[in-house]
A and B are shown apart, each in its own frame.
Chain A
C-alpha cells in the first residue's frame, strides 16, 4: 500500500509539472462529474417530492365507511372463472327480528330491524327491504361502525399508525354576528389525531381540536379554508368568532388548509369545505352512538393493501357476516380516490367501476406512474452530464497524448533504467486516474454546492446522496482509465533509444 501511495504521489508530481494543462483537463472532468451529481440530486429530489406529496395527499390512508352499495361479495374466492365457480342464487339473509306476532307468544311484541340507524329504535315506516322486497336495500346507508370497531382495529392490526373515528353529516352553519351569512357544508365529528393522519394539513390560524376538548365534548369548531373564506372573507383570522350550528354556539379555534398540490382546497370538497367538531359533541348533541367512518393511516405507505384486507376480516368477524354475504362497510384507500381526482365524471366512473382491479394499487405503483414523467426529465439531464463527461474524457486524453510527447525522454530514461512497457503504461493510466479522481472530487463538491443553491434559490427539491457521490467518483476513475488507454499504449511502445535521444 505504501508503494501504491508513493506511485500516486509520483503521478501527482508529474501532473503538477504542467499545472495549467493539468488544471484545464481537470476542469473538464470537474464539469462532467458536477453535472452528474447535480442531475442525480435533482432526480432523487423530484422522486422524494412526489412521494412526500402523495403521502401528504393521504396515499397511506385507509378510510372505512359504514354501509356498502355493493350487493355481491367482492373478491371472495377470486374470479369465478378461475375456479369453475357457478353462480347460484344467494341464500336469503335470515332476518333476526320478524314483524308480527309469534305463534305461541302472543304477548311478545316484535320490533322492526332497522339498518339505517340504531337497530333497537322503533320505527313506524316500513324498512326499505320491506318496501322494495330486496333484503339488501338500505344497507348502503346503514350506520354499522362503532367506537368498539375502531378500538379493535387499533389494537389488533400491526403496522397501523393512527386511527380516528368520525361521524359525518351535512350541516348548515351561520355567523352569530351576522345570521345572514350562511354556508351549507360537510360536518365531521372527529378526534384529535386527525391532523396527524392528514399529514398534508397546515393551520394558518389557530390549531386543531385537542384531546381534552374531544374528551369533554366541548362546542369548539375547526373550519376548512373554503368555509373560512366564504363566511369571513379571504385572509381574515376567524379564530375566536362564534358560529351557530344546530342552534348551538360553537367557538372557532382554528382554520385548516392544504400543503399538497394533489389536494387543493375547493368548494364542495370533503376536507377544506368542511367543519370539524369533537365526535363526542356530535354524539351527545344528536344523541347518537354510530360512526360513519374510521380513518386509519399505515406506518409504511406500501402496506395499505394488506392492512385494508385485515380491516375487512376484523369487521366481518365483529359484524358476524357470513362467507357469502357482502360487507356492511366499505374499505377504501386514498390512493383509489386520488386516481379519480381531477378526471371528468365519465372517466371517473370508469375508474371507479374498475376499482376492484386497482384494489391492489400501492403508493409505490402510484408514485411510479408520476415518476415516469420525472424520469424523462432525468434522462435529459443525465444525457447532458454524459456528454460533458465525454468531453472531459477527451480533455484528459488530449493532455496525456501531449504529455507522452513532452516526456518522451523521460519515458526513454525510465525504460533504460529497466521499466517495462507495462510499467510505463500503468504510470500514465495512474496519472489519468489521479487527475480524474481529483477532478471528480472537486466536481462532486461543486455538484453538491450547485444542487444546494438550486434548492435555496429556486426552491427545487434536491437530494444529494452519498451513493451518488461515490458513483460519480467511480465514473470519474473509469473515465480516467478509458481515456488513458490509448496514450498509455503509445508511451509503452516507444523505443528506448529513440526516446532517449528525443529532443
Chain B
C-alpha cells in the first residue's frame, strides 16, 4: 500500500476576478521508505502540492489517500489531527519558537496530541528525539544559542517526535550555507535508510533534489517528469566543501 496516493488532484484559487489553476490534475503514488524530491521553479505548483500533501489545504478536485485514508475533504479539525499524528513538517527558516528551549520546541506537536499526554511523557519523547539528532547536550538551549545546523536538527527532531508516517520538508536548506545544507541532506538520508521513514522534499534547487531516491519535476501545475534517481553521496560533497570552510575559518 502506498503511503501517499494522489488521483487527479486539481487546485483552483479564485483571487478576485482571476482564477488560478495551481494544480491541473496530478496523480502520484509514493511508497513507504521513498525519499521523493519535488522540484520546479517558483509558480510551478510545487508549494500547492506541498500544502495538499501536508493536509494544510484541501484539493478542489481529485482524491488524496494518506495511508489508505481519504483525506481530501475532511473538516479543519480532523485535518489538524492528521497533521499531528501522521505528518512531520520541516520548514524553511526552521520556524522554531524564540526564547523557548530546544526540548520545549520539540514538545510542541505533543501538546496537541489526543489523548492528552503527560508532562513527563512529553519531555521523555522530546529528549529522545533530540538525543537521536545528536543534541543531547543542547536540550535547554534557546534557538539563538544554536548554530543553523543545530537549529535545523531541532526542527527535524520536532518533525519526528510524534513518529509520523511521512516527513514533509519544505525548502529545508533555504537559509543554510552549503556545508550545513549537505549535512541536513545526509541526516534525511540516514532517517530513510536506518528508520525507513518516507520523506517528501520540496526544493527549487536541482542539486538538493539530487539527494533523493526519486525526483519529480513540476511545471505549470502538472508533473513533467518522474524518475528514479541514484542519490548523491553527501560524504563526497562534504569532503569537497570542507577545505573551503576550513579556509574561511568556519
Contacts and interface: CB of A to CB of B under 8 A. Distances in A.
A216 to B, nearest CB: 79
Contacts of B158: 417
Given A415-B80, A419-B80, A421-B76, A2 B113 contact: no
Interface stretch (B83-91, B194-202, B209-217, B234-242): B83-91
A497 B56 contact: yes
A178 to B, nearest CB: 88
A131 interface: no
B107 to A, nearest CB: 9
**Chain B CB within 10 Å — which of A413, A418, A423, A496 has the most?**
A418
B32 interface: no
Given A3-B119, A409-B95, A410-B97, A417 B108 contact: yes
The prevalent SS among residues of A at the interface is: helix
A6 B119 contact: yes
**Chain A CB within 10 Å — which of B84, B99, B162 has the most?**
B84
Given A3-B118, A497-B56, A420 B112 contact: yes
B61 interface: no
A414 interface: yes
B60 interface: no
Given A3-B118, A16-B99, A415-B80, 15 more contacts: A2-B118, A2-B119, A3-B119, A6-B119, A13-B100, A414-B108, A414-B112, A417-B84, A418-B83, A418-B85, A418-B112, A419-B111, A421-B76, A422-B77, A500-B56
Interface in A470-503: 496-497, 500
Interface string B90-124: 01000101111000100011011100101100000
Contacts of B128: none
B113 A421 contact: no
Contact of B77 (A416, A421, A497): A421
Shortest beta-carbon contacts, A-B, top 7:
A418-B84, A417-B109, A418-B112, A420-B80, A419-B112, A418-B83, A2-B119
A383 B158 CA distance: 51
Nearest to B162: A418
A125 interface: no
A415 to B, nearest CB: 7
Contacts of B91: 413, 416, 500
B113 A418 contact: yes
B81 interface: yes
B57 A497 contact: yes
Contacts of A414: 108, 112
Interface string B154-166: 0000100010000
A421 B75 CA distance: 12
Interface in B113-167: 113, 116, 118-119, 158, 162
Contact of B56 (A10, A17, A416): A416
A410 B99 CA distance: 13
A497 B97 CA distance: 17
A417 B97 contact: no
A418 B80 contact: yes
A418 B116 contact: no
Given A13-B100, A17-B98, A410-B97, A3 B116 contact: yes
16 contacts: A10-B104, A413-B91, A414-B112, A416-B89, A416-B91, A417-B83, A417-B112, A418-B81, A418-B113, A419-B111, A420-B77, A420-B112, A421-B80, A423-B112, A500-B56, A500-B95
B129 to A, nearest CB: 14
